[in-house]
Every structure is written in structure tokens, then in C-alpha cells.
Structure 1
């Protein structure tokens, strides 16, 4: 009977210890969970080197670890990585996540940075029920993403180089090099002539400079002549123009005053002069007729009529 009682007491004590251990574990989990925050990061690139338990750093300072990594069901192009970081880590607006390699081991980590001072923390819940940290392509990610384009460009460049270095183009390049060599030899043979030409060109340039200097001096002399000798002539010309202007004004005034007399002369004197000229013409014609009569008939023709000759009949 006593042995059974001892076994019961031992069983109760063991159960009590197990319960206490379970309560302590739950409390420890709550305490540890309360000091960390979880975030989701959606990467649209390969996450090679990232696994559950990988390190999460903020500006290079270890701040947490990867809790879960899986494809996102709504869009398989994205990889959802859930991370947990320390509660005091400043996950503020502007914070971004990138994947960075650690040395040459092939292991990668998630790097957080870019938090803006004074900005509010990231609290908007994402589709996974926790806040989402936006991503930024890292150096390795950009290199991997641009690798296909880089290979395509290298392939195109290789093809063009192959076409450029074909047999036909090689022959053309050889001809060009031969022509260049002949031109170089010709220039080398003409070296003394080219040197003499350059010397003559230098002399011509010097002479042109001297001529330009002389032209400058002549221009200065001309300016001095115009400034000193032409001033009196310009003043005299100005006075002459002024006097001519005054004369024109006087002539204009005289013409305006003579306009009434000219108008009367045109309307009255000219018609009367016309009548006088007509009378004088008629009188001249009459005098001309009288003169002719005197010439033919003498002065008596002016008094009586001209006598007719006597008529004599025929002889019997």
C-alpha cells in the first residue's frame, strides 16, 4: 500500500514539473515574441543564398533573421520572405530591403537601409497579415537581371566582329593599310618641300600681320583726319543747308503770295491778249492788201477803180 502511494506522489510531482516547464516555455516564447516584429518582403528576383535562419541586417548591424521563405500563391513571380527583427530596429518609411552576398561563400543575407529620419514606422498590413517592406534591387540582383541582355549584346558584338573580319573586309583593310603606307612614303619623300612650304607660309602670315598693323595705323590716321579736318567742313555744310532751307521757305512764301495775280493773269489778261493778236493779224492782212494794190496800180488805185483797156474791132 505504501509503495503504491509513493508511485502516485512521484507521478504527481513529475506532472507538476512538466506543467511548470510548459508554462515557462510559453512565457519565454511570449517574451521573446514580444521583443521582435515580423515583416514580409516580396522579391521579384532570384533569392539564391537566402534560407530559413539567414541573417537580416540594418545598415550592416545584425537585427534579425529569416523566419519563412516561399513562393507567393497569388503571383508565382514573387518570393515571399518573412523576417523577424528586433523591436528597437527603426523600420521607418523609406526603408528598403535588398539581397547581398556574404563574401565568396555563396551565402546571402537581407540588408535593410534607407530609413528617413523623423518618418513614421511602416505599419500598413500586407496580404500576409504583417507590414510589408519594399524591395530595392541590389548589385548582385541587378547583375543577374541584366545578365541575359549582356549575353545577347555580347553575341551580337561577336557576330559583327566576325562579319567585319571576313575575307573580303580583310582584303579591303589590307589595301587601305598599303595605301596609307604609300602615302607615308610619299610624305617622307616630300619632307623638304613641305618644310619649305611651311616656312613660306610662316613668312606670309608674318607679312599679313605687318600689313594688318599698317592698316590699323592708317585707320587711326584717317580717324584723326576726319576728327580734325572734317569738322570745319561739316560745320560749313551745316550752315549752307540751313541757308538753303531758309531760301526755300522764302521762295515758298513768295509763290503763295503771287498765286492770286497769276490766277487773274491766266483768267483775264491772256484772253484779251489773244483778241489783240487776232486784230493785229487782221490789220496786217489789210495793210498787205493795200501795199499790193499800190505796187500794181500805183497810188491812184487807192482812189478809183482801174481803167479797162480800149477795145478795137477787127480791121475791114
Structure 2
């Protein structure tokens, strides 16, 4: 009897444990977690590839909930309506936003990433009877996935251009160009000695030109010094000589004019004396003109600044 009573007690204990486990499981699934979870709605205007019911919801990398519903918007099939349940202690703010993120590069799954939310922002709440909505932002990975077709087309076009660039004909042209460059290099190497001699000759010529220029500069300096030192005295002497010549010419003209009557009578007696007197008169005129020029501008007259009219007897 005692053994049978022990078996009955063990059976009852097992039944009670099983019932308790079932009740606890029901409480967790229905009466516990769901009552404590905070629900939010998210509307995506893009494809939600990799996102399913039960996918994780992460806030700055920390799992805070799961996706509970996913469906197309009956009024606009381009939009996806989703509902999430997160821990009520999650600080969802009015400036918090949602975004789809891939879980792995090769897994093909995705999760919802919550981010944003500043300390000064108010908590996201809604009117009674409605579910608060978290605004969604476009996912860069979704955009990349949508644009992958264009990217692949561009890559294919680039490959075709590379194949065209590396065609047999272009490769032959490149080989010819390289051969020409090699030949040019060999010619330059062969002409290196001649080029060196030419450059050396140019260097010597430049040095000689520099020396000649220095000598010419010194000659000009010496000439300027001589002119500045001796030219004023020479010009003064020339002007004095011009004044003396002018006085002599004036005296001769006065002598001739004073004896004009006697000379005219003499000219009547000798026909050859007339041309001689005329030549003397022209000579005196030329001397007078020269003396006037020397007296007024001795430097210009001596250095041919004004070309003098030569006397032709």
C-alpha cells in the first residue's frame, strides 16, 4: 500500500508540474509579454526584402523587439505596412526613425533598425485607440539593390570597352609605339656624345658672349668717363675757335667791302680775277656759317647731329 501511495503522489506531482508549465507558457505567449510590449506602426515606401514576421527590431544595435505584422497597403501596393512590438522601456522619441538593415552580407535576412531620438525630444505617443507611427527612411542597401541592374549594365559596358581597347589591332599598335620609343631611346643614347659636345660649345659661346658684353660695358663706361671729363673743355675750345674764325671772317669781309670799288676796277682790267673773288666770297660765307654752327652748338656740329652742307669750289 505504501508503494502504491508513493506512485500516486509521484503521478499527481508530475501532472501538476506539467499543468504549471503549460499555464506558464500560455502566460508568456498571451497574458504576459504581449501585454507588456509597446506596439508601433512603420510604413515603408520600398521593398522589404529579407524582412519577415519575427525579424528583430534593434535600437542602436541592441535587440528591443520583433516584427509582428507585415502586409501591403490595400490603398497603395507600393507601400508596406508593418507593426512591431518592443520593450516598453525603449526610449522611442518623436524624432526616432526606422530603417531596414541587412543582417548579413550573404544571409539574405534583414531587421529593422531604430535610431535617432535626442534627450530633449518628447516620447512618441498617439491618440487613444491608435498605434503610434515611427517614420521610415529609405534604406541605402535597398537603393543599391534597385540600382544593381544599372550598375551591372555599366560594368558590362566597361568590360566591352576594355575588350575593344585590348583588341589585337590595338595591341599591335601599342607594340609598334613601344618599338618606336625604344628606337628613339637608342638613337638618343648614340647621339649623347654629340649632344654633350654641342651643349659644351653653347656653354663656351655663352661665356665668350658674357665676356664680350662685360668688355663692351667697360668700354662704354670708360668712353663716358672720358667724354664727361674732356668733352666740356674741348667743346669750349671749339666754340672759342669758332668765335675767332668768325671775327677773322668779319674783318676780311670788311676789308673786301671797303675796297670793293678798287677791286671792281681791277676786275675790269683782268677777266680772270672775277672768278677768284667770287670763290673767295663763297669761302667766306661757308666759314661764317661753320663758325656760327660751332658757336651755337659745337657738340652737335662735331658729332654730325646736323649734316653740314659741304663747300664745292
- The TM-score normalised by the length of structure 2 is 0.49
Structure-1-length-normalised TM-score: 0.48
